[in-house]
Amino acid sequence: MEDHHPIFFFDNYVASNHTFTGLMSDYSASSLGFMELLGVQDFCSSSANSVFELPKEESEDQVKASPADESQNHVISSSVAGDSCNVLNTPSTPNCSSISSEGHLHTEDADGELVEHHHQQQHTKAKQQLKAKKTSEKKQREPRFAFMTKSEVDFLEDGYRWRKYGQKAVKNSPFPRNYYRCTSATCNVKKRVERCFSDPSIVVTTYEGKHTHPSPMNAILPSPATAAFPLPMQFNINQSFNELTNPSALNNQLIDHAAFVVQGRRFCTAKMMGDHQGLLQDLMPSAVLKQDHR
């Protein structure tokens, strides 16, 4: 491993019992320039249905304030109050089992309108059934985990195979949001990728759900380097996602104490930093700590 020492900047840190929400920057210059993990946002909480999200405006503000272009020196300002983290009981996308159930309805419509009408009836009926089913089910969003990445490429390789299933324009942004699903048959993990409009160099990637299978690329990924970064817990980011989004993990300190290895570079959560490098030990909401070891 190279002997570069990551320098972390923490802004807008918001602490809660089980979660880390904040922005984290790694200023260690990478000769590869592959990417920099700028933020880690954990959308999971210890209570099952709650989802942590940064309100859009605030997260925009956080990133917006990058000062006059110091290439490597992307400082994220903090004008956000400590409660920038909302707890939402988000209703949404249940694991709907029969969205595509209308396929068998297609008939040879030789009878024109009649068949079409019949088709429509069945169609709407199916929809109503779907709706009834949906409303009766407890709406529950899968755990989500998002991070911001400084990268030139939108789609960051993470070891899994994804199929794009949608693209939407984002309000007030010239950059679209892309929706991906894991291609593995039994796996319903989703991934959302969008570029931050206020800083186009930043890519926001959001994962939702848990992989039910190992990464097909596990074998060729670099192993976490422990020597230069002696942290008790290190994850390869491709493997750690399941752990981070595993509900059982939420009850211990995996979330708070998480370190990532991305392309051989090391990242960790603020708590991890605090405990192991003497930084951020007495975190106040919205605390700002800037250390520059350049």
CB of 150 to DNA, least distance (A): 22
- In this chain, which of 5, 134, 213, 290 binds DNA, going by CB under 7 A? 134
Nearer to DNA, 32 or 96 (CB): 96
- In this chain, which of 192, 197, 198, 239 binds DNA, going by CB under 7 A? 192
Single out the segment in contact with DNA by CB under 7 A; choices: 29-37, 89-97, 236-244, 256-264: 89-97
Single out the segment in contact with DNA by CB under 7 A; choices: 4-12, 20-28, 71-79, 85-93: 85-93
Single out the segment in contact with DNA by CB under 7 A; choices: 10-18, 29-37, 99-107, 277-285: 99-107
Amino acid at 185: A
Q: Does position 198 bind DNA by CB under 7 A?
A: no
β 20-26/176-182 pair status? unpaired
Task: Provide CB contacts within 8 A for 121, sequence distance 6+.
Answer: none
Binding mask 136-155 for DNA (x = CB under 7 A): ---x----------------
- In this chain, which of 29, 96, 114, 228 binds DNA, going by CB under 7 A? 96
Binding mask 158-177 for DNA (x = CB under 7 A): ---xxxxxxxxxxx-----x
Q: Which two tokens stand for residue 30?
A: 């990478």
Number of other residues whose CB lies within 10 A of the CB of residue 56: 11
Q: Which two tokens stand for residue 82?
A: 């400590």
CB of 117 to DNA, least distance (A): 15
Q: Does position 117 bind DNA by CB under 7 A?
A: no
- In this chain, which of 47, 57, 81, 91 binds DNA, going by CB under 7 A? 91
Nearer to DNA, 4 or 192 (CB): 192
Q: Does position 186 bind DNA by CB under 7 A?
A: no
DSSP class per residue in the chain: -------EEEEEEEE-SS-EEEEEEE-PPPSS---EEEEEEE---SSTT-EEE--HHHHHHHHHT--S--TT--PPP----TT--EEE--------S-TTGGGGG----TTTHHHHHHHHHHHHHHHHHHHHHHHHSPP-PPPEEEEEEE-SSSS---SS-EEEEEEEEPTT-SSEEEEEEE-STT---EEEEEE-SSSTTEEEEEEES--SS--TTGGGSPPPP-SSS--S--EEHHHHHHHHH-HHHHTTTTTTS-EEEETTEEEE-HHHHHHHHS-STTPPTTEEEE----
Nearer to DNA, 117 or 290 (CB): 117
Nearer to DNA, 71 or 136 (CB): 136
CB of 130 to DNA, least distance (A): 6
- In this chain, which of 49, 73, 93, 253 binds DNA, going by CB under 7 A? 93
Q: Does position 265 bind DNA by CB under 7 A?
A: no
Per the CB < 8 A criterion, the answer to whether 190 and 231 are in contact is: no
Q: Which residue from 251, 259, 253, 271 is spatially nearest to 233, judged by alpha carbons? A: 259
Binding mask 7-46 for DNA (x = CB under 7 A): ----------------------------------------
Which residues bind to DNA, rule: CB under 7 A? 56, 90-93, 96, 99-100, 102-103, 127, 130-131, 134-135, 139, 161-171, 177, 179-180, 183, 190, 192
